[in-house]
Structure 1
Amino acid sequence: MARAIFLAFIGLLALVVAAFYAHILMLVFAAILVAAVLDALIGLVMRLLPVLPRAFAVVVTLVLVVVLIALAAIGGGVTVVSQFDALSSALAEAWDMVAGQLNDWGLPVAQTFEVTDIVEAIPEPQTIFGGAGAVLGTGFGLISNLVIVFLTGIFLAIDPGRYRDGLTVLLPVAARPRAREVLGKVGATLQHWLVGQLILMAIVGGLTTILLFAMGLSYALTLGLIAGLLNFIPFVGPILAFVPIGLSMIGQDWTTALIVLGGYTLIQQFDANVTTPLIQDRVVNLAPALTIVFLLFMGVALGPLGVTLGTPLLAALRVLVLELYVRDVLGDTPEKVD
């Protein structure tokens, strides 16, 4: 009886913490995703250089990551920044034309397309979770949040076992081996999903850039980068990426517009029906309807942050449900319900 009361108290406490500090918890989860990618890279370095201790492999990995980011910034960063400014103006003009036509048809829409209007339309976190939920949402800003996420992810990747053992030590001794096993499966699932998703992002972004460049569009690199980044969000991301590509077609001849829009549709179909099943479905078999509903829930609860991190969070929750409930409570095997 005392144990049941204690577990109920812990569960209630967890719900309260999740409600008031949901944004902080999502940033922690983002740091875990960063750690998963870094741990995969560290493992690759150690396989290539087996005599290298993990501490040195961590240093080598971080140096390689910094060098690659610097080379990417030098190679295309200036181009992307200059294109982004021009693209923003072009999209604003295109939207003004579309909005004017829609208003003429009796469909009232905002005539202006400004980033500040979008930001102001997003509700503050405290309107949903109270002031405590906005600590990192508005207090530090996007750049500070990213720095905190990446620094936390680096420290997690340096010694992941230390933090895993720190969690399991709170459990009864008999339950610790099983907890380590389940946490290991969650970590492996997140790692495989995230690495696979990065590969898919590179494929979609690269193919989109090649398509737009071949059609002679001025903003090919920026639009391709946007398409690749938004592809991180399944189902929703490709639709969002379609908007700037579609708006950029206004003013182009019909042949160019049809080729670009048709080509982008083929790229997304290739991603959904060929590359994603080959890379992702073998790792995480998430039902499409469940994923969409979960992303909708996360979007309403946490806004863009919830939508962005919703799919990997669902993948982690799926492993926990299959292992801790289906296997341990129901006595079934997860393979039978995949």
Structure 2
Amino acid sequence: MARAIFLAFIGLLALVLAALYAHIIMLVFAAVLVAAVLDALIRLLMRLVPILPRAVAVILTLIFVVVLVIVAAIGGGVTIVTQFDALSRALAEAWDMVASQLNDWGLPVARTFDVTDIVEAIPEPQTIFGGAGAVLGTGFGLLSNMVIVFLTGIFLAIDPKRYRDGLAILLPIEARPRAREVLAKAGTTLQHWLVGQLALMAIVGGLTTVLLLVMGVSYGLTLGLIAGLLNFIPFVGPILAFVPIGLSMIGQDWTTALIVLGGYTLIQQFDANVTTPLIQDRVVNLAPALTIIFLLFMGVALGPLGVALGTPLLAALRVLVLELYVRDVLGDTPEKVD
């Protein structure tokens, strides 16, 4: 009886802490995603060179990632930054034209489109999560948050077993082997999903960039990059990416606009019906309605950060529920309810 009360108290305390420090928890989860990608690269290198110690594989992987980032920055970083600044002004002008037309039709919408207005409308983290949220939400800033996430991800990737065992040791001795097994399975599922999603982002971003450049659309490289990045968010991301591409078609001839918008739609259909089932559905079969509802909940609770990380979080939670509740509590086979 005393043990049950203690466990219930610990569970309630965990829920309270999760609500108070949700922003920090999501940043930690982002670091786990970084670690998952790095660990996948490390494992791939060790499979290619079996005699390679993990410590050496970690160093070589980090060197590869740093070199890749530097090459990407030198090769297209300046172009993208320059294009992004010009694109933001062009989209603002295009939106002003659209808003003017909508107002003429009797649909009242704001005529100005300013990113600062959106930023100022976002609530301060301390109003939602208290002072602790403000520490990472506004005290350090976005750049510092990214540095913290990547550094934490690197340390997690160096020795993931150490941290997995550290979580398991908090449980009763008889439960530790099962806890390690479930955590390992959740990590593997998350890793496979994330690597697959990065591949899908590269496919969508690459095809969109080629389409825009072939059609001679200005800022094609930046618009393709935006399409690829937003593809990380299922269902919602492609729609969000359609907005800047559609606005960029204002002023173009009808033939170019129809080919670009139709081509982008075909790319997204190809992604949804061909590449995603081939790459992702074999890893984790997330129900579309459940995913959308979860993203809405995460968006209301945590804003853009919750939407961006909602799907991989749902994929990990799905494994935990199927293994710890469906299998261990109900005694059912999770494969039957996939």
TM-score by length of 1: 0.99
C-alpha deviation, 1:129, in angstroms? 2.6
Which residue of structure 2 lines up, in the alignment, with residue 125 of structure 1? 125
Structure 1 segments, 4+ long, off by >4 Å, are none
Which residue of structure 2 lines up, in the alignment, with residue 38 of structure 1? 38
C-alpha deviation, 1:253, in angstroms? 0.6
Tell me the C-alpha RMSD between the 2 structures.
0.8
Whether 1:303 aligns to 2:303 is yes
C-alpha deviation, 1:218, in angstroms? 1.5
Q: Which amino acid aligns with 2:59?
A: V
Q: CA separation in 2, counterparts of 1:7 and 1:38?
A: 35
Tell me the secondary structure at the aligned position of residue 113 of structure 1: coil
Q: CA separation in 2, counterparts of 1:22 and 1:100?
A: 41
Q: CA separation in 2, counterparts of 1:44 and 1:81?
A: 32
Query: Which aligned pairs between 1:78-227 and structure 2 lie closer than 5 A?
Result: 78-227=78-227
Question: How many corresponding residue pairs?
Answer: 338
Whether 1:235 aligns to 2:235 is yes
Which residue of structure 2 lines up, in the alignment, with residue 286 of structure 1? 286
Which residue of structure 2 lines up, in the alignment, with residue 276 of structure 1? 276
Q: Is the 8 A contact 1:99 1:109 kept in 2?
A: yes
C-alpha deviation, 1:109, in angstroms? 1.3
Q: Which amino acid aligns with 1:36?
A: A
User: Could you list the runs of 5+ residues in structure 2 that have no partner in the other structure?
Assistant: none
Which residue of structure 2 lines up, in the alignment, with residue 328 of structure 1? 328
Tell me the secondary structure at the aligned position of residue 323 of structure 2: helix
Q: Percent identity?
A: 88
Which residue of structure 2 lines up, in the alignment, with residue 58 of structure 1? 58
User: Could you list the runs of 5+ residues in structure 1 that have no partner in the other structure?
Assistant: none
C-alpha deviation, 1:273, in angstroms? 0.3
Q: Is the 8 A contact 1:23 1:134 kept in 2?
A: no
C-alpha deviation, 1:82, in angstroms? 1.1
Q: Is the 8 A contact 2:23 2:129 kept in 1?
A: no
C-alpha deviation, 1:243, in angstroms? 0.5
Q: Which amino acid aligns with 1:223?
A: L
Q: CA separation in 2, counterparts of 1:104 and 1:134?
A: 43
C-alpha deviation, 1:132, in angstroms? 2.9
Which residue of structure 2 lines up, in the alignment, with residue 319 of structure 1? 319
Q: Is the 8 A contact 1:87 1:219 kept in 2?
A: yes
C-alpha deviation, 1:138, in angstroms? 1.4
Tell me the secondary structure at the aligned position of residue 301 of structure 2: helix
Tell me the secondary structure at the aligned position of residue 132 of structure 2: helix
Which residue of structure 1 lines up, in the alignment, with residue 253 of structure 2? 253
Q: Which amino acid aligns with 2:196?
A: G
Tell me the secondary structure at the aligned position of residue 310 of structure 1: helix
Q: CA separation in 1, counterparts of 2:103 and 2:137?
A: 35
Q: Is the 8 A contact 1:35 1:154 kept in 2?
A: yes
TM-score by length of 2: 0.99
